[in-house]
Amino acid sequence: MGYSVLIFAYRKPGTTPEQFKAHYENCHVPLVRELAGASFPLSHTRRYLHRSHNQSDTNTARNPSTPASVLIGSQEDFDYDAFAELTFEDETAFQTFFAIIQQPENAAKIAADEEKFLDRSRTPAVVLGDTTETKRN
């Protein structure tokens, strides 16, 4: 059974959704992958919220000109810009990865990179429990 962690990422104020995604994809993930080496997760799936560039009276202070395409709920429910699921073989594999990225030199490199595109004051993470999937026949 795998072990998965979910991270919610908020872009740094003044960073567009496009800049956020470009940095995450082209700089941040390659950096973490390089630092973690063989301990990188089995998968690191990133999902970005769809945002439009239309002015709307439903915008939040954080997203004044880039509202999320909300179907149910409010803009405030979707102030984060992406969520990532990191999947590992097991909890031990996660602990190994986490120990590597928390080594002082690695943690400093990651923090310096995150300062370029992430709102580091808002990056919650949680361990996922059971997963149940239903597919169309």
Please write the tens of the pLDDT for every residue from 107-133: 999 999 999 999 999 999 999 998 888
In a domain, 136, yes or no: no
In a domain, 81, yes or no: yes
In a domain, 13, yes or no: yes
Give the structural domain span for 96: 3-127
In a domain, 70, yes or no: yes
Residue 57 pLDDT greater than 60, yes or no = no
Please write the tens of the pLDDT for every residue from 90-111: 999 999 999 999 999 999 999 9
In a domain, 137, yes or no: no
Residue 56 pLDDT greater than 60, yes or no = no
CATH, residue 109: 3.30.70.100
In a domain, 135, yes or no: no
Q: Show the tokens assigned to 72.
A: 């149910």
pTM, two decimals, is 0.88
Please write the tens of the pLDDT for every residue from 2-30: 899 999 999 999 999 999 999 999 999 99
DSSP 10-77: -BPTT--HHHHHHHIIIIIHHHHHHHHGGGS-SEEEEEE--B-----TT--SS-SS--B--SSS-GGG
